[in-house]
Amino acid sequence: MSSTTFAFPPELIERLARARSVAVLTGAGISAESGVPTFRDPGGLWERFRPEELANVQAFLRNPDLVQRWYAYRCKLVREVEPNPGHYALVELERMVPDFTLITQNVDNLHRRAGSQRVVELHGNLLRSYCIDCGRPAEEVNLEAAAEGKPARCPACGGLIRPDVVWFGELLPEEALAEAYAACERAEVFLSVGTSAVVYPAAGLPLEAKRAGAYVAEINLQPSAIADQVDALLLGKAGEILPALVEAVRQTRNTG
């Protein structure tokens, strides 16, 4: 779809075209067009699997083999899909802006696979796992081999292996969170893409950026929980809007 199909607010394009610092927050919606289910949409992960049974440490300790197999299934899924035009548009935008930070809640690794350089992973990465006892990375452990009642264990110490993701009630990686807040402070423009903005502290970042003076735009299929507080709301698919937006910015930079 070409940039002429979307009526972008001129202020957004102008600000992006001259911005020296831009931050972007992404959520599951940006990977939906790659075939990765979101969490809270119809047909999303939480419709079929309850977060309280799978996405917290108590659930893991109660039923480690079940949780391991669920993450092994998702790991396989994300390895089999490809980044989409939304991911690639953000790679292009990073090349245009001197200070660009891509903050993601996603654990699917698709931004890195697309070629984004400065990626801040707030909720970890599905493709990594570690031993809950000795902390050793456990990439070589085959979680898919976990059978009922026989969870995968650390080859070094016998501890349970967990995915390197952030579950409810757990702290986000300190360095990643600090980098995200610092990017919010610096950003002249902040884009919030494909997130329902209900999970904190990530959901608070667009408003942190706004408080610090950024122009905040949301790109989402439907208005998020913070949509009434942003400067521009662009409703539609990230894989269509982002490439058109980046093209519009490129044209303005070339002519301006």
State yes or no: residue 42 binds ligand BJW (CB under 6 A): no
Residue (124 or 152) nearer to ligand BJW, CB: 124
What is d(CA 192, CA 196) in angstroms, rounded to the nearest whole number? 10
State yes or no: residue 238 binds ligand BJW (CB under 6 A): yes
What is d(CA 114, CA 84) in angstroms, rounded to the nearest whole number? 8
From residue 56 to residue 95, what is the string marking binding to ligand BJW with x (rule CB under 6 A)? Answer: ----------------------------------------
Contact set for ligand BJW, span 125-154 (CB under 6 A): none
State yes or no: residue 199 binds ligand BJW (CB under 6 A): yes
Residue (113 or 252) nearer to ligand BJW, CB: 113
Give CA separation, 125 vs 78, 96, 130, 208, 215, in Å.
11, 27, 11, 24, 29
What is d(CA 192, CA 220) in angstroms, rounded to the nearest whole number? 8
Binders of ligand BJW: how many residues, by CB under 6 A?
36
Question: Which tokens is 145 given?
Answer: 């081999």
What is d(CA 84, CA 154) in angstroms, rounded to the nearest whole number? 35
Rg (alpha carbons) of the chain, rounded to whole number: 19
Task: Out of 74, 123, 210, 237, pick the active-site residue.
Answer: 123
Intra-chain end-to-end CA distance of the chain, in Å? 23
To the query of whether residue 123 is one of the catalytic residues in this protein, the response is yes
DSSP string, 26-49: E-THHHHTTT---SSSTTSHHHHS
Residue (21 or 181) nearer to ligand BJW, CB: 181
State yes or no: residue 166 binds ligand BJW (CB under 6 A): yes
Provide the 8-state DSSP code for 228. Answer: G
Question: What's the closest the beta carbon of residue 21 comes to ligand BJW, in angstroms?
Answer: 24
Sole window of 93-101, 110-118, 141-149, 193-201 interacting with ligand BJW (rule: CB under 6 A):
193-201
State yes or no: residue 55 binds ligand BJW (CB under 6 A): yes
Question: What's the closest the beta carbon of residue 3 comes to ligand BJW, in angstroms?
Answer: 17
User: Tokens 């959520």 identify what position?
Assistant: 27
What is d(CA 203, CA 181) in angstroms, rounded to the nearest whole number? 12
Task: List, by residue number, the catalytic residues.
Answer: 123
* Residues contributing to the site for ligand BJW (CB under 6 A): 27-29, 32-33, 38-41, 44, 55, 105, 107, 123, 165-172, 194-196, 198-201, 220-222, 224, 237-239
